[in-house]
Amino acid sequence: MATSSPAATAAASVATDPPAPRRTSKLLIGLVAALGLAAAGAAAYVFVAPRFTDAAAAETAKAPVPEKPIFVLLEPLTVNLQSEGRSRFLQIGMALKVRDERAKAQIVEFMPELRSRLLVLLSNRAPESLVTSEDKARLAAEIHSALNAPLADGLPELGIASVSFNSFVVQ
């Protein structure tokens, strides 16, 4: 009987054992595939996402941003109206929408003259001509024309965009 040394037995068992399974190569292939998919997703995000955000930003930029309106409130006016027999009056409060701060400053500066224009314009009215909403719209257009007229020769119009009533009482 031959005795063998422990080193020889280990060498013989290694030579007779079947080879190790190729599990590590399958794991390596799966890992490389996952990294490839992650890289493709990152590339898609980098190249495609800005197009959508740029399109959204362009849509937002195209939409006009409404400007903040500038109003000048006038103190209420009370004027006598033309009527047969009994006295009638109109009490009216209004706001002027102006185009810019320069127009607002000019209106405030010339307010006494503008109030005088309003009193003359309103005092020659018959009470029946101020009843319907069409009458009020017509009156607003007349007030707009009268107040928007230049204050002196050589000066531009005042820059009044519209006239709004905030109180309107005929008695």
The pLDDT score that the predictor gives to residue 19 is 58
Angle at the Cα of 122 (from 118 to 128), degrees rounded to 5?
160
Asked if 99 contacts 162 with a C-beta cutoff of 8 angstroms, the reply is no
Say how many C-beta atoms besides its own lie within 10 A of residue 141's C-beta: 12
Q: What is the pLDDT of residues 12-58, one digit of tens each?
A: 555 555 555 566 777 778 888 888 888 888 877 777 766 666 656 66
Distance CA 130, CA 136 (A): 6
Q: Are 131 and 77 members of one domain?
A: yes
Tokens linked to 32: 């490389």
Q: What is the pLDDT of residues 91-119, one digit of tens each?
A: 999 999 999 999 999 999 999 999 999 99
The pLDDT score that the predictor gives to residue 146 is 93
| Count of CA atoms in the C-beta half-sphere (13 A) of 61 | 6
**Domain CATH code at residue 95:** 3.30.479
Q: What is the pLDDT of residues 71-83, one digit of tens each?
A: 999 999 999 988 7
Could you tell me if residue 95 is inside a domain?
Answer: yes
Could you tell me if residue 107 is inside a domain?
Answer: yes
The pLDDT score that the predictor gives to residue 17 is 57
Q: Are 121 and 153 members of one domain?
A: yes
Q: Are 85 and 139 members of one domain?
A: yes
Q: Are 158 and 74 members of one domain?
A: yes
Please give the tally of structural domains in the chain: 2
Could you tell me if residue 27 is inside a domain?
Answer: yes
Asked if 89 contacts 44 with a C-beta cutoff of 8 angstroms, the reply is no
The pLDDT score that the predictor gives to residue 38 is 84
More confident site: 52 or 133:
133
Q: Are 82 and 43 members of one domain?
A: no
For residue 35, the enclosing domain spans 23-65
Burial string for 40-79 (b: 16+ CB within 10 Å, else e) reads eeeeeeeeeeeeeeeeeeeeeeeeeeeeeeeebebeebeb
Q: Are 51 and 106 members of one domain?
A: no
